[in-house]
Structure formats: C-alpha cells, structure tokens
Amino acid sequence: MPRERSGGILRRDLARAGSFPAKLRSGAAVCASPLSGKWQTATSTLVPLTVVFWSLQMTYVVTDNCIRCKYMDCVEVCPVDCFYEGENMLVIHPDECIDCGVCEPECPAEAIKPDTEPGLDQWLQLNAEYSEKWPNISTKGDAPADAKDMDGVPDKFAKFFSPEPGEGD
Ligand code: SF4
Ligand code: SF4
C-alpha cells in the first residue's frame, strides 16, 4: 500500500524545476533566501526566511528474493522508471523513487519492500550503490527459466548475487 508522503514528490518537482538540490539526504533542513537568491543548508534548529523542511527521504528497495527470480513485473508499473538491471536482479534508485508503492504488490517474489521496514539497511545500500552502476530498465523481459524454483530460496545474496550489470533497455 502506498504510504502517506509528500516529501519525495516535492523534492522531485523542485529538483526538476532547477530550484532544489537533487540529492539532499534525510534530516537536512534547507532554506532559501529570496534576497540573495542563494541556497543555504542549515541544521533543523535554524529558522530560515523561507523554509522547505525535508523530514525523511523514503524509498522502496528490492531485496534478496529478487535474485535469480527477476520477473520484472515491477518495471512495467513504475511511473518514473527508476529500476536498474543487474545480471540476476533489479534495484531501485533511492533518489528517483517517488515512494508511490505501486510496484510492491506487483512483485511475484514479494521482494520489494518499503525502507521503513526494519532490517533493510543492507538492501538500501545495495540498491543505492548498484542503481548508479547498472543500466536503467523500463521494459519487462523474460524471467529466468528456473525463477519459480528459486522463489523463496534462503540466503540468495550470499549464494548467488552478481555485481555484473544486466543489459537494460
Ligand atoms: S518483480 Fe520482483 S522479482 Fe521481479 S524483478 Fe521486480 S523486484 Fe525482482
Ligand atoms: S513504482 Fe516502486 S520503484 Fe517506482 S516510484 Fe513507485 S515505489 Fe518507487
């Protein structure tokens, strides 16, 4: 289910408008002075002239069970095309995901999770790292022939993770 949230859409829209740093991380408070026209970054305890407060940057992440399942149903529904393809799994770019939640129920392997779930630090890091290295994918391809057999196999990361890129679109 999509979670209530406005920050991602706000950040994305402002970034697209060229008026907001695109890669602000969580916990930062950002203020703009209409007098100087310059962006300033401050701690959340400061009171700026005009304040856009960014409380949390949230994202969905792809986790262990995607590895060697890679059904790719998810890429078809993502409104911002923020999936990236490795050799045997996909990842989500955390700075591009708008946290809409549409992909989560589409994944047959139930491998997509909101990063608000506990214990996903490893996967958040992996999604962030490899979404910068792997090619973008927005069109569904063929799942591996043994995808069903691999669904639910434990500890896939240790056994099967490949850092090699996929083909992308
Ligand atoms: S639908 Fe699920 S298993 Fe398939 S590629 Fe997307 S995240 Fe991976
Ligand atoms: S479909 Fe999934 S990956 Fe794409 S923006 Fe929505 S939550 Fe993020």
**Residues 38-49 pLDDT 10s:** 445 544 454 443
CA torsion, points 132, 144, 102, 79, in degrees to nearest 10?
50
The Cα-based distances of 22 to 29, 74, 135 in angstroms read 14, 24, 20
Q: Tens of pLDDT along 119-156?
A: 999 999 999 999 999 999 999 999 999 999 999 999 99
What's the CATH number where 132 sits?
3.30.70.20
The answer to whether 75 and 137 have CB atoms below 8 angstroms apart is yes
Ligand nearest to the CA of 156: 1
Ligand 1: centre distance to CA 168 (Å): 14
Closest residue CA from atom 1 of ligand 2: 78
Specify whether 123 is located in the same domain as 93. yes
Specify whether 139 is located in the same domain as 69. yes
Q: What range does the domain containing 40 cover? A: 7-53
Number of domains in the chain: 2
Residue 159 is predicted with a pLDDT of 97
Assess if residue 17 is contained within a domain.
yes
Ligand 2: centre distance to CA 162 (Å): 23
3-class secondary structure, 151 = coil
Residue 48 is predicted with a pLDDT of 43
Does the reported pTM lie above 0.85?
Answer: no
- Contacts with 4 (C-beta within 8 Å, 6 or more apart), sequence order: none
Specify whether 47 is located in the same domain as 66. no
